Structure 1
């Protein structure tokens, strides 16, 4: 079967129509006809080979949503015509300690949808059945794509860090990740503080679920809330004064990174004195993703999206790179 896609031939090149052979459907595979695919900043990083991991021609897209059109012989829990989503991970070994303990996203040989294979900027995408996640009927399939990367990325820390409804959570950065983190944390039952360098985002941050808003550039405002938060979720990829944010944490609190922030220094004694910690996480497991989707359906949560036809993929990338996206872009087939 021939798959119609859009591919870039080299770093920073434009996407052009590209055709490739789907290959043999393995016994544990599903083939998904893509209807919508989110455009994530990680797609831009991969396009430009910022991480030194990109193979060309590059077909990005790791927030794909569509219906299953074929299933492998060993797949029994999914069916043809079922709507599913495919995120950053498209396969895991299913036998290592991490997979067997339910942490498939930590598998040492986990398959990444757009690393050394072709992703969802296409008519179809292949993945292993365990990573084809059914979409609840209550969710709008045209908007749900960004949940499979951005959404799962900020939902998993609430689970991983055992955050309770009585606790206080801070979110640094009100963008593609942060706007979802605010919604999740609020509906989780937490008291939520938004941190941003853009004061004009305060009204929207509060609308998304923030109870408090702090200008990240205001050192006095940061000092006023010292020792008040149980988790600060870092959803930006810039360097900040992390010692200042460690100071914001209550004893036992965690500074959790999901944004690829550059290396920075901190004072180890800040961790020791209050038994605080620094952590990070790579998206989440299939089970956590299912919980996230059900959580969204229960609370009527969705990404804030802008839409482009897939044929306008280059215009969509320009919009993303300009920083104008509010807050996630979806490409529609």
Structure 2
């Protein structure tokens, strides 16, 4: 087995990606090597390429929405086989011995290593990850579209599990984009009554086709007033500051505003907006291995796939620019052509 991995890497913050080969070294006992078939492009990839979050180490090989085929297994790997189709998402490894790890919440392990931070990701012909984080693909999944489910999909699916949401609940989605369009599909299939927030009537028909039962004009104070105390959960997928207190007013008592979009400015929230109705603000980072498996099985059963545009991996810089310019509808997936 060759330890050479062919990839596309950013050598400095914000630069175009260049071809980059590296020696991955010997496969660790608990590692799986996956031949990449498809890899999605996520806004988090751009944040790491640009060092927006301040922890990038160059060269950066991004890409963490990976679908591929197992080509090598370390001797301690369990339950996987050569030739099996699998996926790798945001997390590549965790300690496996802390309380969160042994309690089924390895996604919040303090020693967890992201697939694209201090680790080489999926903009490559192969990728490696700890076996627990290599997710088997169920029968019926569209492999060409499944990659974004492993980051964007689990990001919006996890709040359903975290908050014990069921078909009796009413949920709202802020932002109908790469994350939000998957949230609408998942929440609808979960049996919830789904409200989307949008100020663009030209998108209303498409938003309803994605799974929204109703749409609230996000710029209309009267619409917000009429919908006061009507939602159990609101999931925000946007990365810009909003009038969070207005959204808190839409929650029922004990309702939750759940943040999954990386807003870089502090949330401006009034204490009484929380106190008066025992309301809460929460967040979550993707999901644990068991949550990822649960999501993929649910997506396969309900035939949930993101809406994607496909590029060849050799056209990676054009694909990244497409995402940067906000032109993606709604996710971009690279097909390996090494």
**TM, length-normalised to structure 1:** 0.99
Structure 1 partner of 2:183: 181
Asked whether the 8 Å contact 2:78–2:131 carries over to 1, the reply is no
Matches within 5 A, 1:285-324: 285-324=288-327
CA distance in 2, matches of 1:111, 1:209: 34
CA distance in 2, matches of 1:312, 1:236: 27
Structure 2 partner of 1:70: 72
Q: Residue by residue, what CA displacement relative to the aligned partner does 1:278-315 show, whole Å, maximum 9, x if unpaired? A: 00001111101111001111111100000000000000
Shift of 1:270: 1.7
Give 1:270's match in structure 2, choosing from 266, 270, 273: 273
SS at match of 2:249: helix
Matches within 5 A, 1:78-157: 78-157=80-159
RMSD: 0.8
Give 5+ residue unaligned stretches, structure 2.
Answer: none
Aligned length: 333
Shift of 1:76: 2.6
Of 256-265 and 300-309, the range deviating more from structure 2: 256-265
SS at match of 1:320: helix
CA distance in 2, matches of 1:310, 1:141: 16
Shift of 1:197: 3.4
Asked whether the 8 Å contact 1:8–1:47 carries over to 2, the reply is yes
Matched, 1:158 2:160: yes
Shift of 1:117: 1.5
Asked whether the 8 Å contact 2:179–2:237 carries over to 1, the reply is yes
CA distance in 2, matches of 1:111, 1:24: 19
Shift of 1:266: 1.2
CA distance in 2, matches of 1:117, 1:299: 33
Shift of 1:198: 2.8
Shift of 1:196: 2.1
Shift of 1:264: 2.6
Asked whether the 8 Å contact 1:172–1:195 carries over to 2, the reply is yes
Asked whether the 8 Å contact 1:11–1:49 carries over to 2, the reply is yes
CA distance in 2, matches of 1:195, 1:171: 6
Structure 2 partner of 1:250: 252
**TM, length-normalised to structure 2:** 0.97
SS at match of 1:263: coil
Structure 1 partner of 2:286: 283
Matched, 1:326 2:329: yes
Structure 2 partner of 1:34: 36
CA distance in 2, matches of 1:200, 1:161: 32
Give 5+ residue unaligned stretches, structure 1.
Answer: none
Q: Residue by residue, what CA displacement relative to the aligned partner does 1:178-235 show, whole Å, maximum 9, x if unpaired? A: 0000001001110000012333221111001100011211121111100000000001
